Structure 1
Amino acid sequence: MSTIKLGNPAVVGLAGFGLTTLLLQFHNLGLCGLGPVVSMGFIFGGFAQMIAGFLEQKTGNNFGFAAFTSYGAFWIGLGFIWILNDFGIYKSSETDIGYYLVAWTLLTFILWVASLFIHTAMAVTFTTLLLGFIFLDLAHFVSHEFTPIAAYVLIVCALSAWYMMAGIIINDVAGKELLKVGKPWIHLK
């Protein structure tokens, strides 16, 4: 039996998710262009998150496996949509992107329900993610005035993901729980 301590793949998944989500909201608020978002969407939000998800599968964590590989695919897919639009290969309309986001809202709803059984930090992250997707859906189908609302909600989401990442890293190196993640919102037993 091996006594080698392995790193927790969630730290990279949460870091990539949080960073790309934060950058996209800076873009949605008009603070930066799309270039950094596309780059990090492919590399950190996309590939790094997928790698983290595949490593979560090796640990037996179905939630981490599903979340990180799914949102890694989200970022890679979104990056391709933007590139295909930019090169005029296949132009996705506002409605096309809206339906892309609606599909992700539905998947996020499933993961949100599961997050309620994990801990408060996870539930907050997925609650804000679900709300952010809903506001983005409204921005694509009702009014662009929902975009800044989505951006602010998703900034909270990104920072919540980073809080979990910080908790895993800081608590590990400190040898005790300095950053609390809270109890599950739903506890069955």
Structure 2
Amino acid sequence: MSSVSQAAAPKLGNPGVVGLAGFGLTTLLLQFHNLGWAGLGPVIWTGLIFGGLAQMIAGLQEQKCGNNFGYTAFTSFGAFWIALVGIFLGNKFEIFTLSHTDVGFFLLAWALYTAILWVASARVHMAMFLTFTTLEIGFVLLVLEKFGFGESLGWWAGVDLSLCALLAWYMMAHIIFLDLFGRDILPVGKPLVH
């Protein structure tokens, strides 16, 4: 019997870096808009392409890695960004327009979904838990603002969600630096729940 040497499987990239990059960048741009610093144009295009399509593709690649958390988070939030852009465009061109209350219910559904991932994130690591904590807080603040509990809540949501976006980028940088430098330059902490 002859021995056949098998070539080692090629190293694959981690789709999480694209998902975290798209989520972080698009979320940050939306907060720049919500805080009154930038127009809506950059949010529309990055929301469709980077936060939407690229993040959804990253989520689908997470499925192949066997990562159910990344699979559902990136695929779902990719869909969130595409839907949110649809809401912006629908209201702009008066096609299936949504009221503040309608948007509030849209965000409430996402807050409930995010609460499930928030609980699950406690089993990943502290940086993930903090990211989903700030995301959940941001959704709750936006829901309350849309239901008329105070316009200033939108500003606080903008500040909170800016931090959420930067935490996502921190995790992205952690993965990239760990791969390139071979050591943990940006620690993410232990899971909150073991």
Fold-level similarity (TM above 0.5): yes
**Structure 2 residue identity aligned to 1:159:** L
Where in structure 1 do 4 or more consecutive aligned residues deviate above 6 Å?
Answer: none
- Which whole-Å CA distance do the structure 1 matches of 2:25 and 2:165 have between them? 7
Show the 5 A alignment for 1:15-164. Answer: 15-141=21-147, 142-164=149-171
Query: Equivalent of 2:18, from 7, 12, 36?
Result: 12
- The count of corresponding residues between Structure 1 and Structure 2 is 187
The SS at the match of 2:134 is helix
1:176 deviates by: 1.2
Cα RMSD (Å) of the superposition? 0.8
CA distance in 2, matches of 1:12, 1:149: 27
Q: Which residue of structure 1 lines up, in the alignment, with residue 3 of structure 2?
A: none
Matched AA of 2:173: A
User: Where does structure 2 lack aligned partners over 5 or more consecutive residues?
Assistant: 1-5
Over the matched positions of the two proteins, sequence identity in percent amounts to 60
Q: Distance in 1 between matches of 2:128 and 2:95?
A: 38
Give 1:3 deviation, angstroms.
Answer: 2.3
How far apart are 1:170 and its partner, in Å?
Answer: 0.8
Q: TM-score, normalised on structure 1?
A: 0.97
Inter-partner Cα distance in structure 1 for 2:104 and 2:152: 15
The CA deviation at 1:56 is 0.2
Q: CA deviation at 1:88?
A: 1.0
Which has the larger Rg? 2
**Could you tell me how far apart the structure 2 residues matched to 1:12 and 1:151 are?**
23
